[in-house]
Structure 1
Amino acid sequence: MPTLKTTAADMVAAARQRIDEIDTETLIAQQDDPDLVIVDIRDVRERHKTGHIPGSIHAPRGMIEFWVDPQSPYHKDVFAQEGKRYVFHCASGWRSALTVATLQDMGFNAAHLRDGFSDWVKQGGAVALPEK
């Protein structure tokens, strides 16, 4: 196996030093804020299996940069809302940390849920389950 110059864990640690992180308790308290957009970047299969934060939008990790960029043919209007605060999350906070660091590099202001959806569930945050 080749030796990497940097590990995924190193990349996450570096991202976390320069992005805004929100703890689970704070996000639970802010969940009903109409100016808050919670963005779930987990794979659709994860959302289907474990549920999602009610009212969150789903934006697959592989499309984020394209959906956020107004110059992209894949742009989604949900990311062009004036006055909104965006908080991204994944299962444990790794993917969302990297995502928010990338978006910050693009000039898009966002934060991420530090400990992810798994901590959201652990701390009793509301979960919407998919219809069967």
Structure 2
Amino acid sequence: MKRFFVSMVAACMFIFTASFGAHAGTPVSKKKMEIAKQHIQQVTPQKAAEMKGAIFVDVRSLPEYKAGHIPGAIWAPRGLLDFKALKWFKDKSKTYIVYCKTGGRGSISTYDMVQLGYKAYNLKGGFLAWKKAGLPIEKGAPAGLGKGVEK
């Protein structure tokens, strides 16, 4: 009986993972991403690297940021960006390139910034695309931990 139960749990987990994927998100997050992507501009890693003076905004978690980020990127966690953007990013005339791991959280955060009047782009494919393109990365805690402010 125990073996049957374990087999059933494993089968259910396999079906769930195959159907929805490990990082598929919720119906709410999918809808937010859909809406956001209709109202934002995306930029490839190569183009982003060429954008002189652009400020990179990393909206991932602190452990993700510490494990590797775009050099000079400001850590501004997604969960706080909605509340702190106006305090953290005072200059709306600057260009901001927002990113997460693959583009989902980044697109939602970019949309939030655009709605607040910033010139913001989402990094297409996120940090993984940047890394795959062989562009520079650095590791470690952000300067001004938790402040998310421009340098």
Q: TM-score, normalised by structure 1?
A: 0.78
> What is the number of equivalent residue pairs in this alignment?
116
- Give 1 or 2: higher helix fraction: 2
SS of aligned partner of 1:39: strand
> Partner residue of 2:115?
105
Are 1:40 and 2:50 an aligned pair?
no
Q: Which runs of 4+ in 1 moved over 4 A?
A: none
CA RMSD of aligned residues (A): 2.0
- Does the 8 Å contact 2:69/2:139 carry over to 1? yes
Structure-to-structure mapping, 1:79-118, within 5 angstroms: 79-81=89-91, 83-118=93-128
- For 2:74, the aligned partner's letter is I
Deviations 1:25-77 (A, max 9, x none): 111223xx2x211101110011122x1100111111111122222xxxxx22x
Q: Point out which structure has higher relative CO (alpha carbons under 8 A, 6+ apart).
A: 1
Q: CA deviation at 1:82?
A: 5.5
TM-score, length of structure 2 as denominator length: 0.69
Q: Give 5+ residue unaligned stretches, structure 2.
A: 1-26, 142-151
Q: Which residue of 2 aligns with 1:72?
A: none
Report the alpha carbon displacement of residue 20 of structure 1 after superposing the two structures with TM: 1.2
Structure 1: runs of 5+ lacking an equivalent? 1-5, 70-74
Identity %: 28
